[in-house]
Copies of this chain bind each other. A is one copy, B any other.
Amino acid sequence: MDEETDGIPRNRSAARDVDATDRKILGVLVDDATISYADLGDRVGLSPPAAHERVKRLRRSGAIRSTAAIIDPKAVKKPLLAFVHIDTKGWGKTPELMAVSEYPEVEEIHSVAGDTCMLLKVRTEDTRALEGLLSRLYETPGVTSTRSYVVLSTYLERPVQPGITTEWPTPRHMAQPLY
């Protein structure tokens, strides 16, 4: 069925895996999603309706999560980028985590394997705003310490690329992939 339980959208029904043409399409749309289906079809060797059909399927299957405008952080007065480690007492989707996700300055929240900490990516207007955010984070129940790494400059920032990952030999000390 094409349903969802408990509010979490799951992998839709016939999520046939992404083939070479699909990857080409994704590659084009990651660069520019405003392209017409006619041009997209030209780029990947399909008629406009066929290209359209593919894209619809990629949307339905969830391979294309959304189509979004990519905003320049400077234009919206958030030029200061920092990564923040917050040490936490425990794991998981605790209430304090929800509080952290409420801050609009917080772009990403990851939990790190093998450590009781969360890694945040935050953007603020200036160091003062960052300082304020860090204070609030430090006062959050469950947060035992914070360390922040201010980014001096960013050399590369690109979306997930649909290209094929090259195969590389397994290091000798690893017999099996753990993941």
Give chain A's interface residues, CB within 8 Å of chain B. 18, 23, 26, 29-34, 58, 61-73, 75-81, 83, 93, 97, 101, 104-115, 118-119, 123-129, 131-133, 135-136, 149-163, 165-166, 168-171, 174, 177-179
Complex contacts, A104 vs chain B, CB 8 Å? 161, 163, 165-166
Beyond known contacts A76-B160, A126-B177: 5 more, CB 8 A cutoff = A61-B75, A66-B69, A101-B156, A109-B155, A127-B177
Instruction: Give Cα distance in the complex from A152 to B93, angstroms.
Output: 13
Give the residue among A64, A71, A153, A158 with the most B Cβ atoms within 10 A: A71
Contact of A30 among B26, B30, B68 (CB under 8 A): B68
Complex contacts, A135 vs chain B, CB 8 Å? 168, 171
B33–A162 touching, CB < 8 Å: no
B76–A71 touching, CB < 8 Å: no
